Each structure stands twice: as C-alpha cells, then as structure tokens.
Chain A
Amino acid sequence: MTDPNTNTIDANEAVASVAYRLSEVVAIYPITPASSMGEHAEEWSTAGRTNRWGTVADVVEMQSEGGAAGALHGALQAGALATTFTASQGLLLMVPNLFKIAGELTPLCMHVAARSVATHALSIFGDHSDVMAARGTGFALLASGSPQEAQDLAAIGHAATLRSRVPFLHFFDGFRTSHEIQKIVTLDDATLDALLDGDAIAAHRARGLSPDHPVVRGTAQNPDTFFQACEAANPFHDSCPAVVADTMDRFAALTRRRYRLFDYVGHPEAERVVVMMGSGAECAHEVVDHLVARDEKVGLVKVRLYRPFSMEAFIEALPATARSVAVLDRTKEPGATGEPLLLDVTAALVDAVARSALPALPRIIGGRYGLSSKEFDPPMVKAVFDELGDESPRRRFTVGINDDVTHLSLTVDETFTTESDDVRRAVFYGLGSDGTVSSNKASIKIIGDTTPLQGQGYFELDSKKAGAMTVSHLRFGPATIRSTYRIAQAGFVAVHDPGLLERVDVLQRAAHGATVVLNLPGATEGAWDRLPRRVQGGLIDKGCRLFVIDAFAVAERFGLGRRINTVMQTCFFALADVMPVEAAIEAMKASVQATWGRRGPEIVRRNIEAIDAALAELHEIVVPTTPTAPESTRLTVPDDAPDFVQRVTRLILDGHGDRLPVSAFPPDGTWPTGTSRYEKRAIALEIPIWEPDLCVQCNRCSMICPHTAIVTKAFDPAHTAGAPATFRSEPEGFTPEFEGLSHTVQVAPDDCTGCGLCVEVCPAKDRTQPRRKAINMRPAAEHRDREREAFEFFRTIPDLPRTAIPDHPRALALLPARFEFSGACAGCGETPYIRTLTQLFGDRLVIANATGCSSIYGANLPTTPYTTGADGRGPAWNNSLFEDNAEFGLGIRLGLDANERQARALLAGLAPSLPADLVTELNAPQPTDDTARQRQRDAVIELRRHLDTLNGPEAPTLAALADSLTPRSVWAVGGDGWAYDIGYGGLDHILASNHDVNVLVLDTEVYSNTGGQQSKATPLGAIAKFASDGKETRKKDLGLLAMSYGHVYVASVAVQARSRHTLKVLQEAESHPGPSLVIAHSPCIAHGYDLVHSPAQQGRAIKSGAWPLYRYDPRRTATGEPPLVIDADPTSLPMRDYMEQEARFRMVELRDPDRFTRLVRAAEDAVRERHALYEQLARVSYPTGPGSSNGEEAHDG
C-alpha cells in the first residue's frame, strides 16, 4: 500500500476540493473544461460536506458567468469567502466584475481551466488566451502545470489573497491538466488550516457591508480623484509577490513541496534558457533533465506568479550565465510586438540591465506553441533549445505546426524522445459509449491506490456526440511523471472497438514488441484473417504480440450490452504486467462494487461475472510473417469529392490534421458546407432495411431520423434506368399529386447511428407477422455493401423541384433536407427540427446558432452537415457566442435588410432602363409559395442579364446585390440554456423589436452540451446537476412571456409525436412578418431513458400536460379570433405516468417516494394552472374597432 494521503484524481477535482473547503459561497456557470469543478462543489454541498468553518458551502448556478461574477462580487462584499470556476468566454464575461473586485482589493481566489477564446472558430481546448485577456484586471495570476501543482497552488492562492487583499486567478491548462488524472499527495484539512491567516479572514469579514457599520463602495469618481485612488492600491500589488513567496515557503514547511515565484530547473550554468508557464513547462522540465544529463547547459524558468510580475524575482531565478532566452507563450496576440509573457520577460531583462542587476542583455526570442491544446512534446522543446543555440535564431517563431505561409515555425526532429524505460505506457482506443475511459480511470486509481507506482492518465475525447472515438494514454512509473504529452511509444495497445481497426491507424503509437489486444467479434480461429491489412502489416513490422477477445460476446453473455469495459480492463491487467493479476482482479471487483454497488447487486454481479469470464476468452494469436488480408481499396473520401475535401478534409479524417500546413486553412474561419457526406463513419451495428411490400409511404421514418440517414424520395421512374439491383422503389400510391412517380426509402448505411427511431415510428406491419414492419433493424455487416451501392445510386437521382411537392405534411417530408449526417447523439431529439427547417426553408435559410450541442454537431470539424441542393443553395450558418445569439440573428436580419434596401434603391434608379414588367415582378410583395419564389429568382437572373448590358457604376453594384431582392429566412437557433438563461435578455429584446427574426429553441430542459446542469427550462421534479434533489420550482414559461408582447408568433411543438403540427408551426412562424418563437421539445440522453422510446414518451409529455402544444398567432386578432389555439389536451394521462419513465424524475422516486409524490402533485398543479390560464387566453375576446387591429390579414394556417 502507498501513502494514505495520496489520491488519483484530475486537477479539476483536486482544485475544487481545496476551493470548496475554503469557501462559503460558490457561484458558478457551467463551461467546458471547468464545469466539473462546479459539479464537484455542488455534489459536496448536496452531501452536506462542510468547509473549514464548519458550514456547508452554498453552491449557486447562475444564468451566465456574468451573473456568477456579480453574485461572487456581492458575496465578497458581504464579507463571505467565495470562489468560482470558469474558462474561456466565461472568464471574459466575468472581466467587468474582476476589475471591480480587484479595484476594491477584495480577497478572492478563482480557478480557471484555461481554454481558447473563440476567434475564427470556437475551441473547447486549452491555451492561455482567456487568462491573458484578463491580465489587465488587477488580479494576481497564478499558473499550475500538473494536477499536483494545481491543488497546491490553489491552496496557496486562497491563502495569499487573504493576506495580500489582491484577488487571485489561479489557472491551469484546460483538458491537459484539468482532465489529467495523476496520483497526487492530497492536502488535508490541517494543512489548509495552518496555511490560512485567521486575522486576514477576520479583516475580510470586518470589511463586509453592514448596516451596523455602514460604508459606501462603488462610488462615481471624477477626473480630480480617480487616478490617485487607483494609485492608492499600489502598495498592495507591490507587496503581493512577497506575500505569495512567503505563503509558498509556509506551504513548503507544511508539505515539503516547494514552489517559488519563478522555479528554475536545469544546469546551474545554463546558457540557453526557456521561460514558460502551464503544463508545457512539465514537458520542458523532462527535456531539460534529459539534456542536462547529457551535459548540455540548458535550463527552464517556470513562471508561477505571472501577475504581479516580480522582475527582481525573475532575474534572481534566471542563471546569470544565460546567453539566450526563449519565452514560450500559449496564446496569440495579433499585432503585438510579442506575446504577453515575452514582453514581460523582455521588460524584466532590460530593466535588470538598466539597473545593472545584469551585466548584459541575453538574446531574447519568443514563440507561440500549443494553441487549443495543440500537442507540445519533447521534440518541440528540443527544437526551441536548438533554435536558441543557433547563430541567428528567429526572433519570433511558432513550434508544433508547419507554417508555410509566414514561415515562422521551427523544424522539429520527431525522433527525439525523453520517455524513460522504467515508465510503462499503454494506449487504448475505444468509443465514448463503451466505458473505456471510465475503466481506464478506474485502472489508474487501482494502480495508484494499491502500488507505490506513480500514475498518469490523459484522455482524448471527441466532440462528436455519437460514435465518438476516445484515446486513453496511461503511464505508470516509479517517479513523478511529467510527460504532459501523448504517448508515442506504447508497450501496450488495446483496441476496444473493432470498427476502429479500419478507420484509425491503431498501431501508430505501438512500440516495437508491444502487446496488442483487440476486441474482435467472432471465433478466435481465423481471427488473423479478419484483420485489415494495415493492422496485419503493423503487427508484423513492429514485432507485436497479439491477443484477441470477443468482448462483445462476453458482455452480452452477462447482459451488459455493449459495455465491454470491465472485460477489457481485465485483459489489460492480465497482459500489461503493471501489478499481479490476482491482486488487480480483486481490486477491480472492489472497484466495481464501489462504483456500481450504488446501482444494485445485479449490475455488480454481472460485471464481476464478466471479469471472471474474461481471462478464459482471451487468446494469443501467433503473428505470422506475412499479411494475408487484401490491400484495402476503400478511399477515405471518394475521388469525385471537391478539391478542398481531397486536400484538407481527407487528411483530418485520416487523423493527420496535425500535419496540415498553415496554407491549407482558410484564414478567416470560412469553411465549405456539405462535407459530412464524406465522413463515412459506419458506426451502426444494425441499420434499417426497407420492406417495400409493406410500406405505406407515410415518410415518418425520414421525418424522425436525427441524422437524415434514412431518406424518402419521390422521383420520375425514368431515373431508375441503370439502377443496380440493390436499389429498390415502388410506384407512388398514396399521394395523388405524385401519380406516375416512384417512391423509395433509402438508408445511408455508413451514416446511420442505429438508433432505431425510424423502425419505432413505422406504422406499417405485416398482418401475418406483426413484428415485421416496413422497415426493420438488421445487422449492418450483412447489409452494408448492398445498401452502400443502393445509396450511391440514390444520391444520383435528381430531387423533385420544390414546386412539384404539394403543401401537405406527408409530402413535405419529401422535400430534400439541407442538413445531413451530423455528429449528434444517436436518437437526438433536436436534429429533426433542424432538418425540417432546412427542408422547408433550406434554399433561403440563414441560421444564427447559439453555442451548445447544436453548434457542435452543426459545425464541428472536420465536416459540416449543412449542405446545398443541385442549385447550390442551402443554409448559411454562423455561431457567434452562447449569450448573444438572438442579437446576432437580429443583426443578420438588419444586415440582410440593408442589402435589400440598397438593392431596391438601385433598382428604382435603374428602373427606367429595365423592362417595366421585370421591375414590377421584382417589386412584387414577398412571395409566400415556392412557385412565386421561383418566379422571383428567375426575375433576378433576368435582371442580371439586363444589368450586363447597362453602363454606369450602379448596374454591377445591383448585380452583386440582386439576390437580396428574394426573401431570406432568418432563424436564431439554440438550446434552452441560451434562450431561457444566458441569452434571455437578448432574446427578449429581439422579440420586442418587431423585426422578422424567427427563433427556434431546442428545449432539452437542461444544459445538454456541458452535461446536464439545470436551466430555467428544467421542469419541476427533474433531477439535474445543481438540482440534485429534483427541481422544486416551475419551468419558466418562455412562451407566455413572449405572448405578452402581443405581436410575437409563439408556438410550442413536439416533432417526434406530432410532426404535422410541427410542420404547420414552422410554416406559420416563418410566414409571420414579425418575430416568431418556436419552443421545441427535444428528447435528450440527459433525460435518462432509451431514446428509441422518445416518440411514445413525448406523447406522454403531451398527454400529461408536461409539454403543452399551442400556437399563438397575432394575425388571428385581426379577425376577432383569440390569438392562442391550444393543440393538445393536457389531461389525458396522469403526470406520474409520464414522469416515471425518465431517470431524471424516477431517481427522485427511488430515493424519496414521498418527495416524488409531492413533486408530482406540484407538477400537476403547475400544469393545471398553466392550462387554465391558456384556456382563458384561448377564449379571450379583444375589443375590436379603430386602432385595435395590427392591420395584418388573418393567416389561414
């Protein structure tokens, strides 16, 4: 056994543990990668864990980071000890308050999992751009580079802020550190108590606002006073480094772990020195140790306290022998003379020379590295030292990329390695849903807890939601592991998903002689022949030992579905030789008991049986000397893909994105649409297969498919000439307008996620065998090749013109989608709305998309799901931020309207030179049907033809703007977190504005993207993070608030259960000339049930009244009708029958049935009251007469 004070955890947990214990108020807002710090704090608070003052911290989730910062400021002003956790845009939203908090010299230590700020694109990954944007606030900035350091410096930050009164922003690299699991020595309560200064705490409390000794803060100052008052704080900032240094000394005395303001490692007479902060410094530390052992005079200064920057302490830390210094910044400040740390270091060195503290100025160079968690590894550090040794090094450089545009990047020798032989390295390839990451975390913990070995785990997780690949990097060794980079040479490689063998170079990271374990379905006999040739070749070339197991079969045998994690974990312990197998298996079983015992004995029993069975099913395969599989002929992207897809997308898909040079990229973030079709992921184990004899051509399958992976089409049978036998169609027989056409239902076999929703909603049954429907899930392996061929042919059949598709629901489903094959979760309840939007308005659609799930699956590279038709038209899309999406949408509307106004002014000026009937056509009222829209588009073509013949500057200007004479449909799309919480103020404002902006709220009733935190859309009774006992307050009635304006079209829809209603609503909303708000019920994995049942469950939501269906159309007022129409009876199912079906509600019932019953009753009351109100609104009679009408004609809906 090892030290009981060790724990194997990630930095977020380690930091949160310190911050929670030292805080009374925690105000947060979820944001990746900081979310889990807040979640831990909330869990502890819910569990009644006390802080160091014996009270339970109050953890509040606010509506935005701006709100969290405001609450924090208030709590601090009241004299409480408070903290927060954030990152990236969240930190930026806090900045105004940070200035205030610092200006008022308020002790606070907040914690930031540093993450890229969105610029040309959003990125959830780590760099220092967010922290650097806050460096002018007056906060002290404290940097950590590992989970151990993050914990330790968190404590130092909390202690130092109290003594210095300067607020602290403690940061560590998002994901690389925040999510890295490391065996750390934990800080016990006694150490924290000893570190804190009781007098400083008392002083802070005494400064709190109190009517018993009132003061005023936050005054307005004028030119006569403001400046001096700012300077009055100087002594505090000036003395802050000394306070931190002293706190570090006290910390060292308590823990024997020593930190300094600037920690130097390396040769005492180093000539070449690197200066940096964060996790990259750990990697650099490893390289420096390696080079110094080879007598190279190199060194590293790790910056701990970046602000206030102590120039003296820096000069003291830097060896006097340093001749050249490279400063590495994990941020980019375009247009600056250098990145921030470089400038500070330069200033410190120049200052030292000026005051004669340094005899001569060393050569100073500066470089950028690691933006957005770009890999930063020993070869790159080595390249920086090499550059420092160069006669004429680059003054400004980048490292880690290939810059072939401005030629700033250093050349890197990739063969350089510092990995030690006494560290065991293992790499695991799995899927997000198979539990690989969780079991690896458990493995590190087992090894960390039961052996003296140090352990480190880092997990690459995809931001794709369905079928996402995970790569786990595990290291174990006798000494501290500083390798903050991915494993390149693993002695153990496990591939948990057989599908990855084809798609990914899984042996890329295998060392020579590595042990390789594959989860390979089927018999051991013939296993070798089933491996792809690339894998066979790799195994032979690298001299690997090969083991196979059919883990799916083992898991299936014990009723664990696809959860193969414990099976594969057993294989790891059996083969990796990290600890004795028997002890490992015992520990695994204990871990299963600890983790799943909370679920019940059955899950424990099944997992333990699977562990016991695993070893018997693990077989070694003797690796032959030659490959037997045929060469793969399958191309990543087809030959006919566009040039950009061939040059760029293909390489990213192949896992070579890191190797793409700078020149490959659009410099402004503009990417082509319609590329998801080239990302053939083939993740479904079963796909729907059509049985034409049963099909009633209802098109419900295509309407519900979250991934547009089952498509229905009506077409001229003449197009089937030359069709392969695998392509099937039937004469159209259910839509009179389509007489003479053919109808088909086609699966996209490589894009389907296998969710089964299409089969669930298929109403057609074989009367002799009701189990057989018109589509049925069948093994993908048996059908994929046939369906691939059929689908390829299907793509060549031209779409019917929009004008040929009649305006009724069954037929509207045949409108071609302009959104396909997104990375959304299997069974996603949001994407059907987006797909429908693109079907209805795709040729004129402009989308403003709030950050969240819909922005991730909507535009997560390498591919984009929004696409175009044969005419090249399709949705244009952009994501601004999380909080501003409504305003962004309004801005787009205003911009498009400006274009139109300009075009109309030009048209009016040129009208005398143009045919009168053409001008009339172009100036006709907004077309309301596809035929009229087409006529107007034809008129624009005609206009351009005439403009070509005209002279003068106006004609080409109008030609460029002419398309804006045709309508544009602007939609602001986002989730409930945006619409109900962070963006509500803006949403409210644009609804009040009376501009023609449509809003689609994809309401999952929880923050889905960041992992299930409650929003104001979370319904009463549901468990969510920050509502662990079940939410007690009602869901905000966003629709009712919008109705209060009177001019806003408002509707509530549920497409899985009531698709026709949804179609009608979207059409009405779009045709409404003012603002429209559509609130869309969106089943989500966060609700905790099998989403294949979402149509039925959504039906229950409607019948119980949990989800109302209504339309509020202001146009009805003009005809004297009440504007509100209720479209569903909310009383036909008891609320309990709805709630018991979802884990988010059921958990409350399991834990506390009485509370559940109370919440059910409260939910019933809420529904009853809301319905009563709606019923009255639906019967309301407004006075009529002059001035009472909005002048719009009634819409016939």
Chain B
Amino acid sequence: MADLSTTWLGLDLASPFVVGASPLADDLDALGELVAAGAGAVVLRSVFEEQIVAEEVAIHRFVDSHVDHDAEARSFLPESATFPVGAESAVAHLERVRDAVEVPVVASLNGVTPGGWTDIARDLAAAGAAAVELNLYDLATDLDETSADLEDRQLRVVAAVASAVEVPVTVKLSPFYSALPAFVRRLEHAGASGVVVFNRFYQPDIDPDELTLDRQLSLSTPAELPLRLHTLALLHGRVDLSLAATGGIHHGRDAAKAILCGADAVQVVSALLQGGSAQLVSMHAELARWVDDLGYPGLRDACGAMALRNVADPHAFERINYARLLDGWRPPRSEHRHG
C-alpha cells in the first residue's frame, strides 16, 4: 500500500482525506466509520458567529424579557435553563469527538467581525482542537465598505483568532478576491498557518411563483475542482502556508489533482454525504493506486508537482490560457458528445 501520509498545519496525518466542516462529524458512530475508512483528520461543523449572537439575542428578547413580567408568572422557563447559548455545546461535542477518534480534530469557526466571539476559538482550542479553521464566509452587502476595507476587517479577525490560540489557524477562503495571492500573503503575516480553498456559497435561489427565496442546499460536483486547482497551483511554494482543497473532491483522482497542484490535504464533504464511508474507502484506494501507478515513493513527493513553479507549461495557469481557450471555443453541435 502506498504511503499516503502527509503533514497539514504541522499535524501528521495518515491520509490527506479530511472530513470537511459539515454535519458529518455530528454522529460519533458514523464518524468512527469514516476514520476507519481512511479519514486523516476531522473538521467539525462550523460554529457560526451570527448564529450564536442571533440566538443569544433572541433568547434574551423572547425568554429573558418575560422574567418579572406579570403578577402571576415570575418567568416561563426554569432558571436552570438559563445557561449559555454560546459555543458550549460545540465545545462539549469537540471533547466527545476528540475522545472518540484517534485522528486530529479541527474546530471550525465562521465569523466576519472581530469581537467577543474570538473567545470561542480559545475555548475550542482549550477543549483539544488540534487546529482552528476560520471560515471567512462573507457576503459584501454594504455600499460603503470597499474591498480594501473588507479585507482589512477580515485580516483583523484572523489576527484576533491567531493571537487568541496557540494551535495553528487555517483560513477558509471564498474565491472572490480581486488579488487573492496578495491577500493570502497578508493572511500569512496576520498569523495564519494555512488556507483552505474554497468555500462554497450557498446562495439562495428564487422561487418565481411565490416571490420568495428558496434556500436549498446543493452539493458540490467535480466540476468545481478546477477553480481550486488553479489557486493551489498559484500559491504552492510561494507562501509559507499549509494548503488544503475543498469543494469538488469526489474521487481519488480528484484528490490526486489537488495534491499535484500543492494541496497538503483535501477536504471531502459532498461525496461522503452521498456515498458515506464506502465512498471514502474507494477514494482512498484509488489515490493509493494512483501513487503506486505513477511510482511516487509517497504522496508527499507528488505534492505541488503541477504547481505554477513546477509545471511544464506555466502559461496554462495564467491569463494566456484563458485567451487561448476562448479563441478555441465553438458552439456545440447537436451530435457533440460531452466527455
């Protein structure tokens, strides 16, 4: 069996497959199966800043405001139910997962404003998180906040979290930065130890009959992979950060591509939601076969082989490639077969 071990965020993993931030880690039994199937690490479901704050405030408004409210009812829920609405349940879950699995457990935080919630990162690290993944999922809606403002704010968040914890902090990015490499460089300076590319936007669809927003979740497909590959290839070896790919890794060969472009680890969610641990077994085997087939001594040796620095045709990753492809594009004919 090929050596699939890797180092991600300074953590030694037996396999590059990381169970990505999702409900996959909620069920300890199912998670155990995934680890047995070859998961090298686990990222827990994201703790959302907005969710915690919104719930705290909602409970303050709809539970606490009924205290001492009329003559007969002192309150409406037992006082012992007055306990934190914050991340305690996530912390408790992390402790349980940490005790249940042998692989490193990474906590995931999702937040975009520097604030008291960075305490949560500290709590999660104290509870045994091997690293913290900070998801900068941010929808820019403010007409007055420029991209520079937004990036500055995000960097402050990263710095706040990185200084709050001693474990490595990796930043999960969205693809929509004007100058992503430069921003990643600044993340490095802000204290990040790695980046994960890319977040997937769960953009709401529109229901044209009801005139409402339709919040259906759609799973990733391998078609989303090339965007990640491109970025990994641009970054590998040019920043001193641990790289991971997420989004579109459905097969062992998808993982191989990401690793060739410079990923130290690959996060998988949709494929596991669909195929469960059996899918991971198959991905793991496929990747091992590929390592053997190509004659790499180990997976580490393949890492970054196709990065911008190393690739035989670096132009393929740059602007010129885009122009060539556009020039070569022809409308599909009816007998055209998709490959």
Q: Which residue numbers of A lie inside 8 Å of B, CB to CB?
A: 32-33, 35-36, 39, 42-43, 46-47, 124, 175, 432-435, 437-438, 441, 459, 461-465, 468, 470, 559-563, 596, 598-603, 605-606, 765, 767, 770, 856, 1006, 1008-1012, 1023-1026, 1028, 1084-1086, 1088-1090, 1143-1144, 1147, 1149-1151, 1153
Which B274-298 residues have C-beta < 8 A from chain A? none
Q: A561-B61, A602-B117 are in contact. Are A468 and B69 (CB under 8 A)?
A: yes
Chain B residues whose C-beta falls within 8 Å of the C-beta of A1011 in the assembled complex: 72-76
- State whether A124 touches B72 (Cβ < 8 A): yes
B56 at the interface (CB under 8 A from A): yes
Contact B59 A463 (CB under 8 A): no
Whether A461 pairs with B53 at a CB distance below 8 angstroms is no
A1085: which B residues are within 8 A, CB to CB?
A: 62, 66, 76
Count of chain B residues with a beta carbon within 8 Å of a chain A beta carbon: 43
Report B-chain residues with C-beta under 8 Å of the C-beta of A1084. 76
Nearest A residue to B69, CB-CB: A432
Q: Does B84 interact with chain A (Cβ within 8 Å)?
A: yes
Query: Beyond A124-B72, A1153-B92, is A1147–B81 a contact (Cβ under 8 Å)?
Result: yes
A465 to B76, CA, bound (A): 13
- Chain B CB count within 10 A is highest, among A36, A603, A765, for A603
Contacting pair B89 A1150 (CB below 8 A): yes
B78 within 8 A of A: yes
16 contacts between A and B (CB under 8 A): A43-B78, A43-B80, A124-B71, A175-B71, A459-B68, A468-B70, A596-B60, A599-B59, A856-B72, A1024-B78, A1025-B77, A1084-B76, A1089-B62, A1090-B58, A1147-B77, A1151-B83
Give A746 to B82 CA distance when docked, in angstroms: 41
Q: In whole angstroms, how far apart are the Cα atoms of A603 and B85 in the complex?
A: 10
Residue of B nearest to A767 (CB): B211
Which residues from chain B sit less than 8 Å from chain A, CB to CB? Answer: 52-53, 56-86, 88-89, 92-93, 115-117, 119, 211-212
- A1023 and B72 form a contact (CB under 8 A): no
> Considering only CB atoms, which chain A residue lies closest to B57 in the complex?
A559
State whether B77 touches A1144 (Cβ < 8 A): yes
The reply to whether A600 and B52 form a contact with Cβ atoms under 8 Å apart is yes
CB neighbours (8 Å) of A175 from chain B are: 71
Is there contact, CB below 8 Å, between A35 and B116?
no
Do B89 and A32 have beta carbons less than 8 Å apart?
no
Given contact pairs A599-B84, A600-B85, A767-B211, A1090 touches B73 in the complex (Cβ within 8 A): no
Choice from A33, A435, A601 contacting B119 with Cβ under 8 Å: A601
Q: How far is the CB of B73 from chain A (nearest CB, A)?
A: 3
Closest residue on chain A to residue B86 by CB atoms: A600
**Chain A contacts for B119, CB-based, 8 A:** 601
**Once the chains bind, are B58 and A1150 in contact (CB under 8 Å)?**
no
The smallest beta-carbon distance between A326 and chain B, in angstroms, is 31
The 8 closest A-B pairs by CB, nearest first: A1011-B73, A600-B86, A461-B71, A1012-B76, A437-B68, A1086-B76, A601-B116, A432-B69
Given contacts A598-B83, A1150-B84, contact A1012 B75 (CB under 8 A): yes
Q: How far is the CB of A962 from chain B (nearest CB, A)?
A: 42
Question: Nearest-CB distance from B123 to chain A (Å)?
Answer: 10
Measured in the bound complex, the distance between the Cα atoms of B70 and A461 in whole Å is 6
Q: Is the CB of A1143 within 8 A of B77?
A: yes
- A47–B89 CA distance with the chains assembled, in angstroms: 19
Q: For A470, give the chain B residue with the smallest CB separation.
A: B68
CB B320 to nearest CB in A, in angstroms, measures: 46
In the complex, chain A residues whose CB is within 8 Å of the CB of B75:
1011-1012
A563-B60, A602-B115, A1150-B85 given; name 4 further pairs at CB < 8 Å.
Answer: A441-B68, A767-B211, A1028-B81, A1150-B84
Question: Given A464-B70, A600-B52, A765-B211, does the pair A1088, B62 have CB atoms closer than 8 Å?
Answer: yes
Q: Which of B61, B68, B116 contacts A605 (CB 8 A)?
A: B116
- Of the residues B56, B64, B73, B82, contact of A1012 by C-beta under 8 Å: B73
* Residue contact B81 to A433, C-beta cutoff 8 Å: no
Report chain A residues within 8 Å CB of B61.
Answer: 561, 563, 1090
Q: What residue in chain B is nearest A770 (Cβ atoms)?
A: B211
Q: Please give me the residue from chain B that is nearest to A1023 by CB atom.
A: B81
Contact partner, A47, options B60, B80, B116, Cβ 8 Å: B80
* Cross-chain contact B60 with A463 (CB below 8 angstroms): no
Q: Who on chain A is nearest to B93 by CB?
A: A1153
Q: What residues of B have a CB within 8 angstroms of the CB of A1010 in the complex?
A: 72-73
Bound-state Cα–Cα, A663 to B168, Å: 81
Specify the chain A residue showing the minimal Cβ separation from B88. A1150
A35 to B74 alpha-carbon distance, docked (Å): 9
B116:A602 contact, CB within 8 angstroms: yes
Cβ of B77: which chain A residues have Cβ within 8 Å of it? 1012, 1023-1025, 1086, 1088, 1143-1144, 1147
Taking a contact as CB atoms under 8 Å apart, the answer to whether A601 and B70 are in contact is no
Question: Which residue of chain A has the shortest Cβ distance to B53 in the bound complex?
Answer: A602
Q: Are B89 and A1153 in contact (CB under 8 A)?
A: yes
Contact B116 A42 (CB under 8 A): no
A599 touches B71 (CB 8 A): no
Taking CB atoms, residues of chain A closer than 8 Å to B71 are 32-33, 124, 175, 461-463
Q: Which chain B residues border A1026 with CB–CB below 8 Å?
A: 78
A705 → B minimal CB distance (Å): 20
Residues in chain A near residue B60, CB distance under 8 A: 560, 563, 596, 599, 603
Complex-state Cα separation, A1088 to B62, whole angstroms: 6
Are B211 and A1143 within 8 A (Cβ)?
A: no
Question: Using Cβ atoms and an 8 Å threshold, which residues of chain B touch A438?
Answer: 67-68
Kindly provide the distance from the CB of B213 to the nearest chain A CB, expressed in whole angstroms: 10
Residues of B within 8 A of A600 (CB): 52, 56, 84-86
Interface residue from B59, B67, B116, B211 paired with A1088 (Cβ < 8 Å):
B59
Q: Tell me which residues across on chain B come within 8 A of A435, comparing CB atoms.
A: 65, 67-68
Contact B84 A1088 (CB under 8 A): no
In the complex, the answer to whether A602 meets B56 with C-beta atoms within 8 Å is: yes
With a cutoff of 8 Å between Cβ atoms, the chain A residues found around residue B93 in the complex are 1153
- In Å, the complex CA distance between A605 and B60 comes to 13
Q: Is the CB of B74 within 8 A of A463?
A: no
A463 to B93, CA, bound (A): 43
